[in-house]
Homo-oligomer: A and B are copies of this chain.
């Protein structure tokens, strides 16, 4: 029998370190409120070289007052930080590395910085731990990547540190919890600091927060989920018609997630018109997990949508979502409440389908958005785009894809890839080898950065038709079915007409006429809204689009 090998103090090193940090921060604060002009001094004193630091950069919102101030710190004081950033989307995120303030990076997404980050990795300036999905990166903060400091953003705070995140909650509660409950320091920029009574609601309790600082301007927010219907063409509409009849109607898909893109925007805009004429209202697409897409407004107004739970908000949609609380999740103050963690959970275990666009698909159905040397990362699609094996309840759509025998029999989530055979400029979508393989090699990644694996894909929809990959009994069948809807791309040219006819007969492939779609009807006249202005009108003036989407 041993006795405890460490003194009591030896078990609270993180807590003691936090106490020292807070004392070092004291001269720059009034209570929990940082004197804004002293923020840099506080960061110099509270953060330590080598710290693991989580900087809030979500899919949409960015703690940019904090990131700009951090990037302006003195590298002789602050250096060798290990940064955890969901979305590396601002220039200063990488400036931190060029200035030597940070050296190591764990991330999920790098869309807007994807070219520069690839170069900095090659140059050895950025040392990447790993590229994750959003929730995967957050999950590691509770296991082997516990942050010493987190830098977050909120719409408002009171002097006790109680936070109002506004409609864009996204990941703030999760990041706050990772630090607040493991002796990390929680520092939050707020668009405004108000009296407790003026705080619309409390999204995060003040006892989780160490410091708040008034930001120099509202945190940066990107309208990622807005698609202008003006750019939806006849081919997107044809694909949408095929998807509605060949997938939504056929499998009676009640609950679902749409990725972002013009293909799924087209589907959203065909629900109140094309799908309504098919008498599908109330039968399909009733429960949604997705951000408040403006292109869903006509379907919502037409009574198609019973509920929507959201990962985050969307610029311009705040008044609309607040006015539709039966559909959207809202708080006591009446405004939207989003939460990525819960939306991910709902997306994994409570919905029947994910459908999203892809830039590149290989002959096995593996897909990636990593193309042309850009290292864009994963974001959230892999979490939605697979069959969650931990699900145990059955629905009609899920059972419709049932497989296995005896005890092994179970249903399957629909994972649908929707794509045009060629992208703009005549670049084929269906390719012999994904660019991701080259990019992964160049960045010395242990595996190629594949977004969704072919064996997780149940359906592929193109303007040529639907490949029902889940019905394939062999890899050869799966490849042939995919090729049969891949047009004249390198993959599509593998098709043999007799083989395609056999697959069609066996139900592995359907062409538009097989699912009752008249290609000649595919035109913009089917869209419930043909412009951002139409969406504003549908919303009764509640939707207030960002400036870049207004042309009036």
Within the complex, what minimum Cβ distance (angstroms) separates A150 from chain B?
A: 14
Instruction: Point out which of A15, A129, A140, A339 has the most chain B C-beta atoms below 10 A from its C-beta.
Output: A140
Residue A52 lies at the interface, judged by CB distance under 8 Å to chain B = no
Instruction: Check A11 against B327 for contact (C-beta < 8 Å).
Output: yes
Residue A228 lies at the interface, judged by CB distance under 8 Å to chain B = no
Which stretch in A38-46, A381-389, A480-488 binds the other chain? A381-389
Residue A520 lies at the interface, judged by CB distance under 8 Å to chain B = no
Instruction: Check B207 against A342 for contact (C-beta < 8 Å).
Output: no
Q: List chain B residues, Cβ under 8 A from A307.
A: 143-144, 146
- For A108-137 the 0/1 string (1 means CB < 8 A from B) is 000000000000000000000111110110
Instruction: Check A136 against B392 for contact (C-beta < 8 Å).
Output: yes
Instruction: Point out which of A286, A342, A368, A407 has the most chain B C-beta atoms below 10 A from its C-beta.
Output: A407
Within the complex, what minimum Cβ distance (angstroms) separates A25 from chain B?
A: 16
Within the complex, what minimum Cβ distance (angstroms) separates A290 from chain B?
A: 11
Beyond A11-B323, A183-B325, whether A140 also contacts B540 by CB under 8 A is: no
Instruction: Check B350 against A448 for contact (C-beta < 8 Å).
Output: no
Please report the C-alpha to C-alpha distance between residue A207 and residue B448 in the assembled complex, in whole angstroms: 46
Beyond A2-B302, A11-B323, A437-B406, whether A144 also contacts B390 by CB under 8 A is: no
Instruction: Check A136 against B407 for contact (C-beta < 8 Å).
Output: no
Which stretch in A96-104, A262-270, A421-429, A452-460 binds the other chain? A452-460
Instruction: Point out which of A6, A162, A389, A454 has the most chain B C-beta atoms below 10 A from its C-beta.
Output: A389
Instruction: Check B144 against A1 for contact (C-beta < 8 Å).
Output: no
Instruction: Check B5 against A144 for contact (C-beta < 8 Å).
Output: no
Residue A180 lies at the interface, judged by CB distance under 8 Å to chain B = yes
Instruction: Check A390 against B136 for contact (C-beta < 8 Å).
Output: yes
Residue A205 lies at the interface, judged by CB distance under 8 Å to chain B = yes
The number of residues on chain A lying at the interface, defined by a beta carbon within 8 Å of a beta carbon of chain B, is: 120
Instruction: Check B143 against A289 for contact (C-beta < 8 Å).
Output: yes
Please report the C-alpha to C-alpha distance between residue A447 and residue B324 in the assembled complex, in whole angstroms: 37
Instruction: Check B140 against A349 for contact (C-beta < 8 Å).
Output: yes
Instruction: Point out which of A143, A287, A303 has the most chain B C-beta atoms below 10 A from its C-beta.
Output: A143
* A367-417 at interface with B (beta carbon < 8 Å): 368, 378, 382-394, 399, 402, 406-411
Closest to A387 in B: B389
Instruction: Check A329 against B142 for contact (C-beta < 8 Å).
Output: yes
Residue A291 lies at the interface, judged by CB distance under 8 Å to chain B = no
- For A535-547 the 0/1 string (1 means CB < 8 A from B) is 0011110000000
- For A283-300 the 0/1 string (1 means CB < 8 A from B) is 000110100000000100
Q: List chain B residues, Cβ under 8 A from A437.
A: 406-407
Beyond A301-B4, A382-B389, A390-B133, whether A450 also contacts B144 by CB under 8 A is: no
Q: List chain B residues, Cβ under 8 A from A408.
A: 364, 366, 450, 453-455
Instruction: Check B345 against A341 for contact (C-beta < 8 Å).
Output: yes
Q: List chain B residues, Cβ under 8 A from A393.
A: 129-132, 136, 140
Instruction: Check A331 against B162 for contact (C-beta < 8 Å).
Output: no
Please report the C-alpha to C-alpha distance between residue A203 and residue B534 in the assembled complex, in whole angstroms: 44
Beyond A434-B407, A453-B410, whether A392 also contacts B325 by CB under 8 A is: no
Closest to A201 in B: B207
Please report the C-alpha to C-alpha distance between residue A385 and residue B390 in the assembled complex, in whole angstroms: 8
Please report the C-alpha to C-alpha distance between residue A3 and residue B391 in the assembled complex, in whole angstroms: 40
Within the complex, what minimum Cβ distance (angstroms) separates A107 from chain B?
A: 10
Residue A255 lies at the interface, judged by CB distance under 8 Å to chain B = yes
* Set B11, B301, B332, B382: member contacting A207, Cβ < 8 A: B332
Instruction: Check B326 against A392 for contact (C-beta < 8 Å).
Output: no
* Set B3, B139, B399: member contacting A350, Cβ < 8 A: B139
Within the complex, what minimum Cβ distance (angstroms) separates A424 from chain B?
A: 23
Beyond A11-B325, A389-B386, whether A447 also contacts B301 by CB under 8 A is: no
Within the complex, what minimum Cβ distance (angstroms) separates A265 from chain B?
A: 18
Please report the C-alpha to C-alpha distance between residue A409 and residue B447 in the assembled complex, in whole angstroms: 7
* Set B202, B350, B390: member contacting A383, Cβ < 8 A: B390
Beyond A3-B540, A364-B407, whether A329 also contacts B143 by CB under 8 A is: no
Instruction: Point out which of A298, A351, A402 has the most chain B C-beta atoms below 10 A from its C-beta.
Output: A351
Closest to A345 in B: B139
Beyond A136-B390, A326-B12, A389-B387, whether A341 also contacts B341 by CB under 8 A is: yes
Q: List chain B residues, Cβ under 8 A from A129.
A: 393
Please report the C-alpha to C-alpha distance between residue A183 and residue B382 in the assembled complex, in whole angstroms: 31
Instruction: Check A138 against B181 for contact (C-beta < 8 Å).
Output: no
Q: List chain B residues, Cβ under 8 A from A407.
A: 362, 364, 366, 368, 433-434, 436-437, 448, 450
Beyond A302-B2, A378-B392, whether A325 also contacts B538 by CB under 8 A is: no
* A310-356 at interface with B (beta carbon < 8 Å): 323-327, 329-332, 337, 339, 341-346, 348-351
| A/B interface sample: 30 pairs, CB < 8 A | A2-B272, A3-B540, A4-B538, A4-B539, A8-B323, A12-B326, A130-B392, A130-B393, A130-B394, A136-B391, A136-B392, A140-B350, A142-B329, A142-B342, A142-B346, A144-B350, A183-B325, A183-B330, A203-B205, A344-B345, A383-B390, A384-B390, A385-B390, A388-B388, A388-B389, A392-B449, A399-B446, A407-B450, A408-B450, A410-B450
